[in-house]
Amino acid sequence: MKKITREEIRRELEKPNGAAELVSDPKLDKVVLTDEAAAMFTEEGIASSLLVRLAKSRSLLIRMSEKPELIERIRKSLSDESSPKLRRNAARLIGALSRNEADAELLIGRLSSEETRFVRPSILLALGAVGGEKAAQALADYTPAPPADETERKHFEEETEALKQARAAAMKHEKHTFLGLDREYELELAAPDRLAMQLAQELAQFGVTAYDVRRASVRVKTSDYKGLFEARCFTEALFVIGSCKPDADEIAKLAAPFMAEFMQKTHEGEPPYRYRIELNGEFPGERTSFKKTLRDLLDGETLVNAPSDYELELRAVSAPGGTRLYLKLFTVRDERFLYRKESIPASMNPATAAAVLHFAGDHLTVNARVIDPCCGSGTLLFERGLLSPCDSLTGVDIAHKAIDAARVNAEAAVRHYGMKQAKFIVNDILRFEVRRPYDELICNLPFGNRVGSHSSCEKLYAGLLDKLPKLVKKGGVALLYTMEFTLLKNLIRERDYLEILSQGRTEAGGLTPMIFIIRVN
pLDDT in tens, 229-278: 999 999 999 999 999 999 999 999 999 999 999 999 999 999 999 999 99
Q: What is the pLDDT of residue 129?
A: 87
pLDDT tens for residues 37-55?
A: 455 444 444 445 555 555 4
Average pLDDT over the chain, rounded to whole? 87
Q: pLDDT by residue (tens digit) across 332-370?
A: 999 999 999 999 988 899 999 999 999 999 999 999 999
| Cβ–Cβ under 8 Å, residues 30 and 60 | yes
pLDDT of residue 187: 98
The CA distance from 125 to 358, in Å, is: 48
| Burial readout 441-461 (b: 16 or more C-beta within 10 A, e: otherwise) | bbbbbbbbbebeeeeebbebb
Say if CB 323 and CB 316 are below 8 A apart. yes
What is residue 4's predicted lDDT score, i.e. its pLDDT? 52
Query: Taking Cα atoms as reference points, which of 388, 372, 389 lies closest to residue 380?
Result: 372
Is the pLDDT score of 9 beyond 90? no
* pLDDT one-digit tens code per residue, 10-24: 555 455 443 334 433
- The domains located in the chain, with CATH, are 2-170 (1.25.10), 178-329 (3.30.2130.30), 350-520 (3.40.50.150)
Residues 6+ positions from 455 with CB-CB distance below 8 Å: none
For the chain, how many residues are written?
521
Predicted pLDDT of residue 39: 53
**DSSP letters of 26-90?**
TT---EEE-HHHHHHHHHH--HHHHHHHHHT-TT--B-GGG-HHHHHHHHHHTT-TT-HHHHHHH
State the amino acid at position 186 in one-letter form.
E
Question: Treating both helix axes as pointing N-terminal to C-terminal, what angle do 454-471 and 485-493 enclose, rounded to 10 degrees?
Answer: 40
DSSP label of 226? G
Using pLDDT thresholds of 50, 70 and 90, give the confidence band for residue 219: very high
Per-residue pLDDT at 341: 94
| Torsions phi, psi for 474 (to 5 deg) | -65, 130
| DSSP reduced 3-state for 268 | strand
Tell me the sheet residues that pair with 328.
Answer: 313
Cβ-Cβ contacts under 8 Å for 277 (sequence gap 6 or more): 291, 294, 295, 298, 305, 307, 313, 314, 316
pLDDT at 457 (0 to 100): 84
pLDDT at 131: 87
88-125 per-position pLDDT tens digit: 888 888 887 778 889 999 999 999 999 999 999 999 99
Helix (H, G, I), strand (E, B) or coil at 228: helix
Of the spans 69-78, 110-119, 179-188, which averages the highest pLDDT? 179-188
Q: Does pTM top 0.85 for this prediction?
A: no
pLDDT at 29: 41
Burial 363-391 (b: 16+ CB within 10 A, else e): bbeeebbbbbbbbbbbbbbbbbbbbeebe
Largest CA distance in the chain: 85
Confidence of residue 397 (pLDDT cuts 50, 70, 90): very high
State the pLDDT confidence band at 400, using cuts at 50, 70 and 90.
very high
Which residue type does 201 have? Q
For residue 26, the Cα-to-chain-centroid distance in whole angstroms is: 11
User: Which is more confidently placed, 178 or 167?
Assistant: 178
Looking at per-residue pLDDT, the higher value among 220 and 18 belongs to 220
C-beta separation of 405 from 368 below 8 A: no
